Chain A
Amino acid sequence: MPTIKHGMQAILLLLLMLQLSGCGKPAPVEPPKLGDTISDVTFVSLDNGHLTLASLNDKLVVVHFWATWCAPCRKEMPSLERLSQKLDPNKFALIGISVDEDVNLVKEFKLKYGIQFANYIDIDMPLAKGHFGATAFPETFIISRDGKLLRHMIGEHEWDTPAMLKLLNDAYSGITTKSGAYW
């Protein structure tokens, strides 16, 4: 028969769970600087498959963090999908990484909006916060063919414009601007 003590024990357990809920989350790191080498990392797909950044060697890699609950992320997703269809898969890898807490939300979103480019999941943000030092969503890191950070972009963009395609193709070819920076 339930007693006051049992009730108190249940409350105590709940409090302990609340206290511990903040544990195990990755500590945020500083985002990499332009030109920094991005250390190897493993992406986990929506079906629990794995892909390493190192395996994409010699491709220009676009790592894009987003979430279904993020308004600007949802808004720009169609243009990212169009971009993925315009990029040569032998030269470029567009890696979407959702920081949603439930993989089913991401799968549903992809189905609903016809998103086909490769997407991965980052529950609790070990990649976003613990590896890339993300500061907002959406956030995009463009990594050169030799693994260096070329561009760090915060916020939404129109991804499939001719100017953006030229920038990506120039970056793939190693064409730099007059200042020596890529973009």
Chain B
Amino acid sequence: MSRFYQLAVLLLLSIATTVEAGDPFSGHHVYTQHCLQCHSEDGSGNMVAIPNFRQGEGLLQPDYVLAETLKQGLGAMPAYRGLLDDNELADVITYLRTLQ
């Protein structure tokens, strides 16, 4: 195989390894840093308008919809586009789904 094709395969592999399933342990870290203050430690929410993740509120939608919501913000929740990368978003969504 020529060096050209070897390089192409290496690049493909390096990109493929950046797309991973969410890691709930890393997600917990993201949650603690960015979400806990309003959503509370156990995800039940600190205020009336905040969804109770323990009861699945706000979570009955696909991951990509949740990720988009986190990027753009919703209601009083601020936006995280450009500040959390796709892996961090996947991690925190995976963690949120463990709270139910």
A residues within 8 Å of B by Cβ? 5, 8-9, 11-12, 15-16, 18-19, 28, 67, 69-73, 99, 125, 128-129, 134-139, 154-156
Contacts and interface: CB of A to CB of B under 8 A. Distances in A.
30 contacts: A5-B4, A8-B8, A12-B4, A12-B7, A12-B11, A15-B8, A15-B12, A19-B14, A19-B15, A69-B79, A71-B75, A71-B79, A72-B74, A72-B75, A72-B76, A72-B79, A99-B82, A125-B83, A129-B83, A135-B83, A136-B73, A136-B79, A137-B73, A137-B81, A138-B79, A139-B78, A154-B78, A155-B76, A156-B76, A156-B78
* Chain B interface size, under 10 / 10 to 19 / 20 to 34 / 35 or more: 20 to 34
Contacts, number: 77
Interface in B1-26: 4-5, 7-8, 11-12, 14-15
A156 B55 CA distance: 26
A69 B34 CA distance: 19
B100 interface: no
A125 B82 contact: yes
B72 interface: yes
Interface of B: 4-5, 7-8, 11-12, 14-15, 33-34, 71-83
